Structures are given as structure tokens and as C-alpha cells.
Amino acid sequence: MRWTEWARPALIFVPTAIAADAMRVMADKKTEAAIITSDGTTKGQYMGLVWVRDLAKRRVDVKGQTIKTFIRHIRPVAANTPITDIINAILVNDYPAIPITDNQQYYILTKLDLLRAIASEPSLSNKKAVDVMKVPFCVTDTDSIATTTAMIRDTGVERLVVVDQNGRFVGLVDELDLFKAQSTDRTRLRGGPTGIKPITSVGELSGERYPMRDVTIAGLTHKSVATVKPNCPLPQVIKAMADSGLPVAVVKEGDRPIGIITTKPILRTIGRPFEGVLVQLSGIQPEDDYMKAIVDEQIVKAVQKWGKFVPIKHIAIHIDRYQTEGKRTKYSIKARIIGHKGMWFADDHDWDITKAMRGVLTKLEKGLLKAKSKAETRARGSVSHFTEPGTTGPL
């Protein structure tokens, strides 16, 4: 598979481009990321990429602020990079998009592009919407922009499901739209009659400005959203998401939303199971079979040990190789564990791949043990305050 079949040609900016102007261009082109080179062409030195969400979240309304401030130094990958490497780069680093290079051209592969590419993967054919959906966070279409933005920040999600006063599905509101709407402290309302209400929808009054606390999210709600039933096969879910142009689908029963599906749970279904845990290991391909076997054994032993005290669902590990001293290779390893009670991250590096892997696994284990200790402390605290009927103090 060549990723240029699914990715789109990248927008390219110079580092001195004005950030606010770049954000407007990216929004108009409906692209999540852009490449930065020294001269704004494919011939210039590659410097990194910028994400439109970074620009929106940090409110690029400072006069003259350049895009250089927002560059993420992420190396582009080759068009023939294995699918597991691409998926792990997204899962481990939480990237919204990956830069691709091919024949001196740059492309952007988004998570939605990636879903289109893997839709026919055999491991997805026996999965249904209910297997990957999460319970959605919801707001009503009468909630204000300020209230909705606060909820997105508190929950850490990118999108909220919008319902009406009766709990029926209306659409989705996206953090990017909310941040763009708040690029100033007040918003201009377009079109409509002259009646003024205590809370006013975007688009209701012409030429007037109102505080964010007085403007509802109705005018920012995406209504052309993929909706599916709980038993919908996962490949059909992906097709519905691709058709809508949004990397999300809402699971409904009747008119009511019961779940939301994003890209990450789908991507996590592609990998190898070790001891009932889904493990995705990427970047190991250049190593010989003997070294691969040693690394696999390290991971299996760690998973077996951890499973005795912490429930683990998914592990993603990515290996990068750097040749900095002649023929010697230095290894940098990043890992993420997803469990029932949270996520843990670790990274390490060494000239020996097995030592780097041991370092990462040791750091992850320390994090898991610390979480286990905290959970046990909380449990003891709750038990110590429980009193049996007829007793006078804690047990």
C-alpha cells in the first residue's frame, strides 16, 4: 500500500507566514495540517508541520505572530511505511495527522484518510459499532458557547453530541469551531430579524455583537453527521464516516444517541493479541528475526506480569532508529498503555534495542504500580469510613 493513494497534497508555508492568515487558509481548504519548509516550496528544507487545532486553541490573534511558533518537529514518513507504523505513530503520539513524503512531494494523511485505507482489513469484519463506541458527553442546543467550551476543556474530548430539550439527537459541536468562534471575546451574529432574546443563536441578529455567554451553539452544530445503529458492521461505520467527511459517528437507538465512535478505538483493533491484550509494535521491521524474538519475549513477559495486578486493554509501542556514530544505531522507543482506569506513557533510548525496551517497560511498570497503590489507598479510605449498624466507629 502506498499512502499517497489516500493522503492529500499538503499545503506548504514559510515559517514567517502570519499564523492567523495560515489558519484561515487551512480552514478554507478544510485541511487539518500544513507543512513548513524554509522557502515555502517542496525544494526548501523541511522544518515540521502545524496543526490547525493548535492555532485555534492558542488564539492566534496577536498582530504579526508568525507560524514558526506553532511548528511541531515531526519527521515525514515514506509512502510505503507499514500500516502498523502509521497507526502506532498516531496512537502513541496522539497525532491528528501524519506527514508523508514521496518523490520530493509532501502529503498529509489524516485519521479519516487512514480509516478509508483500512476499511477492508479482515480484523474489522467481525466487529460492530457497539464494540468500539463510547458513552457520549452531551449538551443541549440551547447551551451557550461559553458553557460548551468549558465542558470540552473539562472532559478532554474534541466533540460533544448535541441534543434537544427532549434528548433527541441534533448533531455535533466541534472544539475547533468553538475556539474559532472565540477568537475574540465577542461574536458577530449574522442575518435574521431584530428581536433580542436573553440567549441568542449564532446567525440570528444582523451586525450585532454579543458576549459568548449569551450565544448558543445552535449555529455551530454540525448536522450532517454519520449515524449508525449499535449492530452496524464496522466497515459500514467507516464508510458512513468517510461519506460525512467527519472522523466520527454517532450510535443511535431511535432518535436518541447512545454512543459515539471516533478513530482511535477503530485503529486499536488492528494489532497482535498477547495474553488477551492487544499489542501494537511498530518500527521493529529492520531488525533480524532473532532480535525481534527477544523483543517479543520482553513484551510478553511484561504483559503477563502486569496483568496480575492491573487490567490492561491495549499497548502501543513505536521504535525509531538513528545512526549517529558511524554504523552504530541508536534506538528511541515510545510506548502507551491503555487500561480500564487510564493511560500511561513512557519513553527511553539506548544503543542496544533490548536495553531501550527494558527501560520503557520498567518505566511503564512503575507507573502501573503507582496507580495500583493509589487505588488501594483510596479503597482503604472508603472502607475505614464505613460503619456497621450497631457499631460506634470505623471497621
Sequential DSSP letters for 38-94: SSSSTTSPEEEEEEHHHHHHTT--STT-BGGGG-B----EETT--HHHHHHHHHHHT
Q: What is the CATH number of the domain that holds 300?
A: 3.30.160.100
Residue 274 has what pLDDT? 52
For CA atoms 270, 271, 277, 281, the dihedral sign is negative
Whose grid coordinates read 497482535? 272
The tally of CA atoms less than 13 A away on the side-chain side of residue 245 is: 6
For residue 391, is it within any domain?
Answer: no
Q: What is the CATH number of the domain that holds 101?
A: 3.10.580.10
Task: Answer yes or no: do 294 and 255 share one domain.
Answer: no
Over the stretch 180-231, which tens digit does the pLDDT of each residue have? 676 544 444 433 332 233 344 444 434 455 555 567 888 888 888 999 999 9
Residue 388 has what pLDDT? 39
List 108's β-bridge partners, or say none. Answer: 8, 99
Task: Answer yes or no: do 289 and 222 share one domain.
Answer: no
Count structural domains, the chain. Answer: 3
Between CA 175 and CA 172 the distance in angstroms is: 10
Task: Answer yes or no: do 296 and 362 share one domain.
Answer: yes
Residue 191 has what pLDDT? 34
Residue 51 has what pLDDT? 87
Rg (CA), the chain: 24
Task: Answer yes or no: do 255 and 209 share one domain.
Answer: yes
Task: Answer yes or no: do 28 and 74 share one domain.
Answer: yes
Residue 4 has what pLDDT? 92
What pTM did the predictor assign?
A: 0.65
Task: Answer yes or no: do 262 and 144 share one domain.
Answer: yes
Task: Answer yes or no: do 228 and 324 share one domain.
Answer: no
Grid coordinates belonging to 49: 508541520
Over the stretch 136-155, which tens digit does the pLDDT of each residue have? 999 998 888 888 888 887 77
For residue 390, is it within any domain?
Answer: no
Contact 15, 36 (CB under 8 A): yes
For residue 172, is it within any domain?
Answer: yes
Residue 129 has what pLDDT? 95
Enumerate residue ranges in the chain where pLDDT < 50: 184-207, 383-395
Task: Answer yes or no: do 173 and 78 share one domain.
Answer: no
The answer for residues whose C-beta is within 8 angstroms of residue 251's C-beta and 6 or more apart is: 129, 130, 133, 227, 228, 229, 230, 232, 257, 258, 259, 260, 261
For residue 255, is it within any domain?
Answer: yes
Grid coordinates belonging to 269: 483493533
For residue 117, is it within any domain?
Answer: no
> Which among 213, 235, 267 is the end of a domain?
267
The tally of CA atoms less than 13 A away on the side-chain side of residue 168 is: 3
For residue 278, is it within any domain?
Answer: yes
Residue 85 has what pLDDT? 81
Chain-centroid distance, C-alpha 340 = 18
For residue 392, is it within any domain?
Answer: no
Residue 214 has what pLDDT? 65
Residue 44 has what pLDDT? 92
Task: Answer yes or no: do 135 and 151 share one domain.
Answer: yes
Residue 322 has what pLDDT? 78
Task: Answer yes or no: do 249 and 278 share one domain.
Answer: no
Residue 182 has what pLDDT? 61
Between CA 2 and CA 109 the distance in angstroms is: 11
**Residue closest to 73 by CA, chosen among 49, 89, 54:** 49
Contact 294, 354 (CB under 8 A): yes
Task: Answer yes or no: do 260 and 151 share one domain.
Answer: yes
For residue 38, is it within any domain?
Answer: yes
> Which among 111, 146, 169 is the end of a domain?
111
Q: Which domain holds residue 225?
A: 131-267
> Which among 267, 284, 316 is the end of a domain?
267
Contact 266, 124 (CB under 8 A): yes
Task: Answer yes or no: do 212 and 330 share one domain.
Answer: no
